[in-house]
Structure 1
Amino acid sequence: MGVSATQLNGGQATVAAIQREIQTNGPVVAIFAVYSDFMSYRSGVYFRTSNQLVGYHAVRIIGWGTQTCFNSNQKVDFWIGANSWGTGWGEYGFFKIRRGVNEVGFEQSGISFGVPK
């Protein structure tokens, strides 16, 4: 048995479609634009503040949540991503990124998942 890669909704995935795929079959892959501030992410919900594009990167989206920002008391929806840069980066190798706003192309640029053959 093998696995083939399939793109979700032809590259224009909705939040609901991504969530449904994660619930049904597990993590999906997101390809997104990486800006210089992402390299130094440590914790919290990431939102781009830099205009310096450094490249593109693929990560696994493993879940989602909502948290209240301590400085504004606003609720922020986020994706939970698993990075490949080791446990010394971010939150032990994981990160949160704003959900529902296509932050850095996260919900648009080729959401993919594996399908058993």
Structure 2
Amino acid sequence: MMANKEIIIPHELIDLNNYVNAERANRFQGAKLKKKYTRLCALAVKSAIKQGLAVTEIDMPVDLHFTWYVPSKRKDKDNIAFAKKFVLDGMLQAGLIENDGWKQIGNFTDTFVVDKENPRVVVEIEGVSE
């Protein structure tokens, strides 16, 4: 088993309710938001790679622990955690993982913290030996 590595996404990501509302308003809006947030996550992944997160060191499948730092408790936790989709797609787009299927992704865990001053997402990656 390898040591934990982390990716920090220095932004609050869109929640499920806002994403669904955008899709209902305009059929192209959902695709535009998916592209925007996937790219935002991919940039954070690329930054982590530049800072030493080595793709070759990751044993598949990986377990991912998400810590969601949010500005308030106004949004439900399940709506916040929906953004995992963008994080995984960003990991794929950045070349950290080959795919986001069962062979590459093990389990997820979530922790939620209120941080009004610095909303962000921290993803801890733990390589798991098969």
> Same-fold call, TM > 0.5?
no
> With structure 1 as the length reference, what TM-score do the two structures score?
0.27
Higher strand share: 1
Structure with more contact order per residue of length (Cα contacts < 8 Å, sep ≥ 6): 2
Higher helix share: 2
> With structure 2 as the length reference, what TM-score do the two structures score?
0.25
